[in-house]
């Protein structure tokens, strides 16, 4: 009975993840989360960005590490290898990225991060962390299908690592530019910024596409689709912001988030 109840709860969580994407995309088309270049008042008290990022991303580490040992595949080397990439991304996002912000003078500027937004992201990461950890450690059932597992894993891993590299290098460029310009904004140039305004968002979407391929699951697909629903409207808003701020100086051939397409 407990196993059936857990399966039912897991399925409802996956459905919640999948079906929360479209309304998120619609809302964010008209209302951008008020942090970074879209910062504005009226969203309650704020904290420094490094603290906010550490807090809201932290469930992806402590919750998943707590849940993983309870899965029936928790000692399977393939399961551990697969989940190590998920943890690698979130170690960077939860630990390394906030530390990079902390070392940057921009993190101590006038713009704080709304606690309300951090709390929403914290809640999402509780949901998604549970889903991904339970799928990989317990419900994924093709670990014994060696040939197809390794084919999907290798292709997905290449996509994932490529996206992570784009994401990290683009974030590093943005943090450096804000530090050099005392928290102000300039036109980012070089690398993937020559193609899109928000390569950091593009890289993260590519990462989770790779994760969907590796996990070969609705859990992974749901995460990828939600990532696009969340980040692509923000990328479009940021693209419009750059064009409005820099006008004729801003490169006209840049897309918002997908090179040559969108």
User: Would you state the pLDDT for residue 82?
Assistant: 97
- Please give the share of the chain, as a percent, with pLDDT higher than 90: 83
Per-residue confidence band for 110, with pLDDT thresholds at 50, 70 and 90: low
The pair of structure tokens assigned to 80 is 């551990």
Q: How far apart are CA 262 and CA 257, in angstroms?
A: 6
Q: How confident is the model at residue 107 (pLDDT cuts 50, 70, 90)?
A: very low
- The set of residues, in sequence order, having a beta carbon less than 8 Å from that of 11 and lying 6+ positions away, is none
Q: Enter the pTM of the model.
A: 0.94
Q: How far is CA 91 from CA 81, 85, 86, 96, 161, in A?
A: 15, 10, 9, 7, 14
What is the rounded average pLDDT for all residues in the chain? 94
Assigned token pair, 261 = 């397409």
Measure the CA–CA gap between 72 and 133, rounded to whole angstroms.
12
Residue ranges covered by each domain of the chain: 1-249
Q: What was the pLDDT predicted at 235? A: 97
H-assigned helices in 135-217: 146-180, 199-215
User: Which tokens in the block code for residue 52?
Assistant: 């906010």
Q: Which of 107, 111, 110 is nearest to 179 (CA)?
A: 107
Beta-strand pair 46-47/113-114: antiparallel
Q: Which two tokens stand for residue 148?
A: 């197809």
The pLDDT score that the predictor gives to residue 172 is 96
| % of the chain at pLDDT higher than 70 | 98
| Residue 168 burial (CB count, 10 A) | 20
Mean local confidence (pLDDT), 197-213: 98
> Hey, how many other C-beta atoms are within 10 angstroms of the C-beta on 160?
24
């Amino acid at each position: 009975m407990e196993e059936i109840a857990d399966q039912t709860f897991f399925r409802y969580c996956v459905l919640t993840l999948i079906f929360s994407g479209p309304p998120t995309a619609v809302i964010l088309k008209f209302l951008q989360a008020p942090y970074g270049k879209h910062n504005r008042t009226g969203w309650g008290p704020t904290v420094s960005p490094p603290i906010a990022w550490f807090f809201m991303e932290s469930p992806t580490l402590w919750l998943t590490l707590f849940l993983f040992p309870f899965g029936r595949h928790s000692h399977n080397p393939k399961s551990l290898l697969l989940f190590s990439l998920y943890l690698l991304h979130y170690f960077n996002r939860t630990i390394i990225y906030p530390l990079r912000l902390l070392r940057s003078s921009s993190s101590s500027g006038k713009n704080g991060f709304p606690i309300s937004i951090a709390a929403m992201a914290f809640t999402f990461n509780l949901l998604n962390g549970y889903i991904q950890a339970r799928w990989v450690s317990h419900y994924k059932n093709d670990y014994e299908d060696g040939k197809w597992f390794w084919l999907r894993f290798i292709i997905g891993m290449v996509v994932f690592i490529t996206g992570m590299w784009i994401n990290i290098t683009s974030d590093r460029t943005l943090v450096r530019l804000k530090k050099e310009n005392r928290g102000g904004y300039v036109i980012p140039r070089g690398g993937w910024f020559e193609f899109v305004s928000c390569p950091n968002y593009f890289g993260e979407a590519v990462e989770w596409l790779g994760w969907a391929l590796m996990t070969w699951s609705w859990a992974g697909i749901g995460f990828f689709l939600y990532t696009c629903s969340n980040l692509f409207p923000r990328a479009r808003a940021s693209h419009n912001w750059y064009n409005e701020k820099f006008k004729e100086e801003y490169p006209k051939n840049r897309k918002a988030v997908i090179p040559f397409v969108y």
